[in-house]
Amino acid sequence: MNQSLKDPHLLPARLTFLPKTATSPKTSNTISHLSNPSLFAPSLSPSLCYVPTFATSFSEICKVVTAILHIGNVEFKAEEADSSMKLIRKELGPKFKELLELGKPGVVASILAACERLETLSHECCHALSTAVNLDSESPSFIVPHILFLESYFRDKSSWKWPPYDKMHALGCLMLQIIFRYPMVSFFMSLTSMDAAHVLQIAKDARGGHVIEAFLSLYVSTKMKLKVVTKLQDHYVELAMGTASSFTVEKCFASSNMSLKENIATELLAARAELSKTKHGPYLLKKLDIDGVITKLLFMSMSNVYHLRNLLTKSLSAFSQDDMVLVRLV
């Protein structure tokens, strides 16, 4: 092994030039890539020299991060030390808004992904993101809409309105998928408070559909799930006809109670012929067992009728003969 890798004091010395030259447009791109193996791939660097190198060099690099962002995104690929993630959050967490304004959501998405992979500081980074995308004067209900349309929101924050025809931001949707894997109530409430028309637009969008599917996950309460599923009622056929959105229908069906499953099954059964003509339609109908659900509902209806008839019979048998005569007279 190279002597510089054996001695933990040598590697930091080799990297002390980074902060001084990072502001140079000609060298910043090269420095960014050269520092990746040492700083962000500990498997390539001995732990003895990785930790002090990261601590001494990265904190200085962050001070000039805005100077190198015009070249490319800072990369966080394989952080292994909890202390390293704490340093990243400390240095870049307050800069989330600045990074997003500069059009560098990839940096924020990488940090969130690293937090998820290492199972550390997820709540802190999610909170930093919610602060970055919401003005102090705005309601927390705007958090999710702003992330869904990151680009248009940061283009005009003061007068932003929900764009009815824009495609949703790829990295914004990716970040929400990561966030919805944690019990982040403010994000959950932001989605459930949306208008039904907006929830439908999310479900119909190829990227937004993945956000709805992630929302219907382990950490979301049943009550909140049903709020979103209910907002999509009367539109499940429209969603089922789309190849991508059919997966959202499947997820909504699985998250529903029996009453909502009945409603979804009834909607899809009415369009069964049209659905069967699509490539994914037969699979969806079989996966949701629409025939089985309808059969079960019919059986329950017949059972209810039979039970009602028995009740009427018992009630009538309790009448006396004189009462029956009075009933006939009436």
Please provide the average confidence, as pLDDT, over all residues in the chain.
76
More confident site: 249 or 26: 249
Count Cα neighbours of 191 within 13 Å in the Cβ-side half-sphere.
Answer: 34
CB distance 187 to 126 below 8 Å: yes
pLDDT of residue 295: 77
39: Cβ–Cβ under 8 A, 6 or more apart, which residues?
Answer: 53, 54, 57, 58
Q: Per-residue pLDDT for 299 more than 90?
A: no
pLDDT digits (tens, 9 = 90+) for 80-129: 446 777 888 888 888 999 999 999 999 899 889 988 888 888 899 999 99
Cα angle 266-197-164, degrees, rounded to a multiple of 5: 135
* pLDDT greater than 50 at residue 24: no
At residue 311 the predicted structure's pLDDT band, cuts being 50, 70 and 90, is low
DSSP calls for 140-166: GGGHHHHHHTHHHHHHSSTT----SSP
Average of per-residue pLDDT across 253-263? 92
User: Using CB atoms within 10 A of its CB, is residue 206 exposed (0-12), middle (13-18) or buried (19+)?
Assistant: middle
Average pLDDT over residues 63-67: 44
Q: Check if the beta carbon of residue 147 is closer than 8 Å to that of residue 172.
A: yes
Q: Is 117 helix (H, G, I), strand (E, B) or coil?
A: helix
| 232 vs 302, residue with greater confidence | 232
Query: Residue 146 pLDDT more than 50?
Result: yes
Confidence of residue 315 (pLDDT cuts 50, 70, 90): low
CA atoms within 13 A on the CB side of 71: 19
pLDDT score of 23 more than 60: no
Residue-range domain boundaries for the chain: 1-132
- Helices and strands of the chain, counted as H and E runs: 25, 0
Cβ(129)–Cβ(108) under 8 Å? Answer: yes
Task: Tell me the pLDDT tens digit for each residue of 38-61.
Answer: 444 444 445 544 445 545 545 555
DSSP class per residue in 272-285: HHHHHTSSSHHHHH
DSSP 44-98: GS-HHHHHHHIIIIIHHHHHTHHHHTTT----------HHHHHHHHHHHGGGHHH
What stretch of H or E contains 266? helix 258-270
Which has the higher per-residue pLDDT, 200 or 107?
200
